Amino acid sequence: MCGFMKAGDPTMTCGIYTTKTYDLIRHRVAHLYYECLVSELDEIPPGGGLVFGGFHVELPTCPTCGKTFTRYDSLQRHGKRTDTACFAPNFERYSGERENKVRRLEILRRELEKNVGMQYWINTPQPLPKTVKAKVGIRNGGPGLGSCVLEILSVEETYAPRYEFTTVKDGKELQVRLLDHNEPGGIPFYRPMKGSYDPNPNGKGLVLPPADA
């Protein structure tokens, strides 16, 4: 299962699960993007902190309508669809700095609403559960993965409180992997991170601060 910890509350975990580890690694980018959104909106929950420590990510975005995707191939499919509601915004009504800020807030609010629907929090008897005995089912409503752990009966294996970033598709897509306890390295949860990720062809790619930063 995803096993990601809710910021500031280790008794809550993301209940999304799949039979493929690869899908979980891709899914966790939604948690990272959520922190980016609340940070830019200056709405970080009091006392919660940021699990990813302030790491900033620019995700694949449609240049026409501004819709953001956690997966690069989703952006490619979006661009090829003929039934999509993709259209060019009326930029003429955003002629000044203030108007541009208003539009940016509109986009952030829309993205945050979509992102919250991709998260599914449940109680866990142990933080960061990896393998569990549980009741599973299909979540009603919301985008993202439908298969969820509805209730954890017992935890057989947990993740370490550390993660690492990887990239695929020639650096166009970011992934988040939680480490096992016997794996060295990784970035501790809540460690301040001033790095960033830009998937654009001419962007800076994955930039991390020194290990002792």
What digits encode the pLDDT tens for the residues 92-130? 455 567 777 787 788 888 888 888 877 889 999 999 999
Dig out the tokens for 10 from the structure: 């280790």
- The domain in which residue 197 lies consists of 5-207
Q: Does 49 fall in a domain?
A: yes
Q: Does 186 fall in a domain?
A: yes
Please say whether the beta carbons of 127 and 13 come within 8 A: yes
Q: 3-class secondary structure for the chain?
A: CCCCEECCEEEEEECECCCCHHHHHHHCHHHHHHHHHHHHCCCCCCCCCCCCCCCEECCCECCCCCCECCCHHHHHHHHHCCCCCCCCCCHHHCCCHHHHHHHHHHHHHHHHHHHHCCCCEEECCCCCEEEEEEEEEECCCCCCCCEEEEEEEEEEEECCCEEEEEEECCCCEEEEEECCCCCCCCEECCCCCCCEEECCCCCCEEECCCCCC
Dig out the tokens for 21 from the structure: 């580890």
For the segment 28-40, the average pLDDT, to the nearest whole number, is: 91
Calculate Rg over the CA atoms of the chain.
Answer: 18
Nearest to residue 176, comparing CAs of 16, 12, 68? 16
Q: Does 212 fall in a domain?
A: no
Q: Does 213 fall in a domain?
A: no
Q: Among 13-22, 63-72, 173-182, name the one with the lowest average pLDDT.
A: 63-72
Q: Among 27-36, 64-73, 128-137, 183-192, name the one with the lowest average pLDDT.
A: 64-73
Residue 81, pLDDT score: 65
Q: What is the pTM of this model?
A: 0.83
Instruction: Check pLDDT > 50 for residue 87.
Output: yes
Residue 212, pLDDT score: 59
Instruction: Check pLDDT > 60 for residue 134.
Output: yes
Query: How many CB atoms lie under 10 A from the CB of residue 159?
Result: 23
Tally the domains of the chain: 1
Q: Does 117 fall in a domain?
A: yes
